[in-house]
């Protein structure tokens, strides 16, 4: 039985209204296209793969829409290959626009990375591009378009690279990919245009008179007025959790909406490996399986020393986590709620195909705190002028790879806040997860399975600020959008520390192509390797990079509608 609370029902009703309104804007449905009424899961195995990109009619929410598919399906097929093998992937573009495929997290030559304008020119309509590379690693990864907003409309799929030898550290009997994503019946260009005009367009939970009364009851009149005054002065909201919400999104598990949900089978007592992949465009998920504890055995495809007893995992966009569970007879719900609690993706593990488990209520919507603004120890911001930050002294910061430069963050209309007291918070589960009574995985829990290979101290530090103006929907790094920014230059073979300071109130998953990002934890002997780092609001985080891949590489926030500005070109020479 669905136990969605009243807020979820309101969101669903508003989503239906929005879908009806958007039907006209998506254009007439073509009767010549076949309809994929339910996703077809498939797996391709081997060393040679053929993928065809095309438009397809889909029915995910109960309405027919046009999506972009790989081999006629959304999501695309799972590609299973083996470590050490030479791989050939032929990608044919049958669409009317240029496309591409990026192999997210795979270490490969720069011309095989699949980023138009950096790696190659893209795949023109009617053309076939042949990707060739060696599978030099094992683990769980994924692939997606790096052209326009095609990722939002269906061009993504999963990758499983089997190790040369089965790990004795985390043996398992059964294996399921759990691919999480978000789908909208709206054209993503329209979503982006609406955000540019009104950034809170998809926010349905701004504060009301009722919230004011509840806050007075909990915190007193004086504190409530002070808090409201602070947020109003900054022209910000403490509920800016997600740009795009369940008002327009349906959240999917392996392509299935919560109406039916995905189902994975098992036999009682088996050790089941679940390969969680967040392939969404804009949604960070908090994943749990009520009644089952998870053993985390890999992060971003790389094996970690097993972390036992985990009850919930926050998975940033583009991150992957592998876990092992041992379910007993019956059914278990895989509940993946959006970070803003506007909806959830649904899956079921069951030993009986006719049996389902109950669905938990969504957690309460979280609200931002002083900590999430990077001012946890600074008290109230009442009386501060948040409209004139240009005069603030930010000299002596090393920006964009130039270790000798004195560069000031550009703080015009493109930057509406800075984190004054950003702290490293590796052991912080994050907004909405703190003190929830469940054991939540944090970055502080991660230790690579194998010892750190490059033990050199970094020769320099590159400090980058993740910046933006939420009300104008402008995103940048160091206050400079990608179009106006010089590349980050790395010398081949050097060891560099990247430090991210998140000056915004949103989580940003930051992805460096082509090289591993080794998260700096207390145990330097076992630094976990990641391809995507989730930077918390108002926090800083650092990681080490060995520049061992010559070429041009993309480096960007993996929130699809942020990447246009929050993007850099990295050049290793």
Strand-pair partners of 397? 407
266-275 mean pLDDT: 97
- Residue 213's pLDDT is 55
- Residue 205's pLDDT is 65
pLDDT in tens, 369-390: 777 776 654 333 333 333 333 3
- Residue 341's pLDDT is 96
- Residue 368's pLDDT is 83
Rounded Cα–Cα distance for residues 261 and 238 (Å):
32
Q: What angle do CA 296, 145, 514 make, to 5 degrees?
A: 60
Burial of 285 (0-12, 13-18, 19+ CB in 10 A): buried
CATH class of 33-165: mainly beta
Q: Are 537 and 431 in contact (CB under 8 A)?
A: yes
Q: How far is CA 525 from CA 137, 297, 446, in A?
A: 20, 18, 12
- Residue 228's pLDDT is 54
- Residue 381's pLDDT is 34
Share of the chain above pLDDT 70, in %: 81
| pLDDT above 90 (res 37) | no
- Residue 152's pLDDT is 98
| pLDDT above 80 (res 65) | yes
Q: How far is CA 444 from CA 115, 132, 357, 557, in A?
A: 32, 36, 32, 22
Tell which CATH architecture fits domain 167-203+239-365: Sandwich (2.60)
- Residue 387's pLDDT is 39
pLDDT in tens, 108-131: 999 999 999 999 999 999 999 999
Residue 397 exposure: Cα atoms within 13 Å on the Cβ side = 18
- Residue 23's pLDDT is 34
401-422 mean pLDDT: 69
Rounded Cα–Cα distance for residues 56 and 155 (Å):
11
Backbone angles phi, psi at 397, to 5 degrees: -90, 140
358-367 mean pLDDT: 94
- 20's CB contacts (< 8 A; 6+ apart) are none
Rounded Cα–Cα distance for residues 436 and 333 (Å):
19
Q: Are 204 and 17 in contact (CB under 8 A)?
A: no
Q: How far is CA 451 from CA 514, 525, 531, 546, in A?
A: 21, 6, 18, 15
229-258 mean pLDDT: 81
Structure tokens that stand for 427 in this block: 């052991």
286-305 mean pLDDT: 98
Structure tokens that stand for 408 in this block: 């000031």
Residue 399 exposure: Cα atoms within 13 Å on the Cβ side = 18
- 559's CB contacts (< 8 A; 6+ apart) are 243, 281, 282, 317, 508, 509, 566
Structure tokens that stand for 29 in this block: 């449905």
Q: What angle do CA 300, 302, 307 make, to 5 degrees?
A: 90
- Residue 210's pLDDT is 55
> What pLDDT band is residue 185 in, cutting at 50, 70 and 90?
very high
| pLDDT above 90 (res 400) | no
| pLDDT above 50 (res 294) | yes
| pLDDT above 70 (res 68) | yes
User: What CATH number should be reported for the domain whose range is 372-572?
Assistant: 2.60.40.420
- Residue 34's pLDDT is 42
**Mean pLDDT across the chain, nearest whole number?**
86
pLDDT in tens, 336-352: 999 999 999 999 999 99
Rounded Cα–Cα distance for residues 322 and 206 (Å):
35
372-572 has the same fold as 167-203+239-365: yes
436's torsion region: left (phi>0), alpha (psi -120 to 50) or beta?
alpha
Kind and range of the H or E element at 337?
A: strand 331-338
- Residue 161's pLDDT is 98
383's torsion region: left (phi>0), alpha (psi -120 to 50) or beta?
left
What are the boundaries of each domain within the chain?
A: 33-165, 167-203+239-365, 372-572
- Residue 41's pLDDT is 63
From start to end of 259-319, where are the E strands?
262-265, 272-278, 285-288, 294-299, 302-310, 313-315
| pLDDT above 90 (res 392) | no
Structure tokens that stand for 312 in this block: 């919930």
Report which of residues 240 and 147 the model is more confident about.
147
540-560 mean pLDDT: 98
Rounded to the nearest 5 percent, the helix, strand and coil shares of the chain are 10, 35, 50
426-435 mean pLDDT: 96
């Amino acid at each position: 039985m669905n136990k969605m609370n009243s807020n979820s029902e309101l969101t669903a009703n508003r989503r239906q209204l929005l879908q009806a309104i958007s039907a006209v804007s998506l254009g007439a449905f073509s009767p010549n296209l076949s309809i994929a009424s339910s996703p077809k899961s498939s797996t391709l195995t081997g060393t040679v793969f053929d993928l065809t990109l095309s438009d397809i009619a889909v029915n995910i929410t109960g309405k027919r829409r046009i999506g972009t598919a790989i081999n006629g399906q959304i999501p695309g097929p799972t590609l299973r290959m083996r470590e050490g093998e030479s791989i050939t992937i032929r990608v044919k573009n049958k669409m009317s626009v240029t496309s591409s495929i990026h192999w997210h997290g795979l270490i490969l030559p720069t011309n095989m990375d699949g980023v138009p304008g950096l790696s190659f020119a893209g795949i023109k309509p009617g053309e076939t591009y042949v990707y060739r590379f060696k599978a030099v690693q094992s683990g769980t990864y994924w692939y997606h378009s790096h052209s326009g907003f095609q990722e939002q409309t269906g061009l993504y799929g999963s990758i499983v690279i089997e190790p040369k030898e089965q790990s004795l550290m985390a043996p398992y009997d059964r294996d399921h990919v759990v691919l999480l994503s978000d789908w909208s019946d709206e054209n993503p260009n329209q979503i982006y245009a609406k955000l540019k005009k009104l950034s809170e367009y998809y926010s349905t939970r701004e504060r009301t008179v009722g919230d004011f009364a509840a806050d007075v009851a909990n915190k007193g009149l004086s504190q409530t007025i002070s808090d409201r005054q602070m947020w109003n002065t900054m022209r910000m909201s403490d509920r800016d959790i997600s740009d795009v919400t369940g008002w327009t999104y349906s959240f999917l598990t392996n392509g299935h909406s919560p109406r039916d949900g995905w189902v994975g089978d098992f036999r009682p007592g088996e050790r089941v490996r679940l390969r969680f992949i967040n392939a969404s465009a804009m949604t960070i998920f908090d994943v749990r399986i009520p009644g089952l504890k998870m053993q985390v055995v890999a992060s971003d495809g790389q094996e970690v020393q097993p972390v036992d007893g985990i009850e919930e995992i926050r998975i940033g966009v583009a991150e992957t986590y592998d876990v092992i569970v041992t379910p007993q007879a019956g059914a278990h719900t895989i509940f993946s709620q959006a970070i803003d609690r506007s909806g959830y993706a649904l899956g079921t593990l069951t030993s009986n195909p006719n049996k389902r488990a109950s669905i938990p209520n969504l957690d309460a919507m979280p609200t931002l705190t002083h900590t999430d603004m990077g001012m946890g120890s600074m008290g109230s911001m009442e009386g501060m002028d948040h409209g004139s930050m240009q005069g603030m002294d930010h000299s002596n910061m090393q920006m964009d790879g130039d270790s000798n430069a004195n560069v000031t963050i550009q703080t015009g209309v493109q930057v509406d806040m800075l984190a004054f007291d950003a702290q490293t918070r590796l052991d912080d589960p994050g907004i909405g997860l703190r003190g929830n009574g469940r054991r939540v995985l944090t970055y502080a829990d991660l230790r690579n399975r194998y010892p750190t290979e490059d033990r050199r101290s970094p020769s320099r530090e590159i400090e980058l600020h993740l910046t933006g103006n939420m009300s104008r929907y402008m995103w940048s790094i160091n206050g400079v959008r990608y179009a106006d920014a010089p590349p980050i230059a790395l010398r081949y073979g050097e060891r560099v520390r990247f430090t991210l300071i998140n000056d915004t109130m949103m989580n940003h998953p930051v992805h460096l192509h082509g090289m591993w990002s080794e998260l700096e934890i207390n145990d330097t002997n076992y630094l976990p390797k990641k391809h995507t780092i989730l930077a918390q609001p108002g926090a800083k985080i650092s990681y080490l990079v060995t520049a061992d891949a010559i070429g041009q590489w993309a480096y960007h926030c993996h929130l699809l509608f942020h990447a246009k500005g929050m993007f850099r070109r990295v050049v290793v020479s």
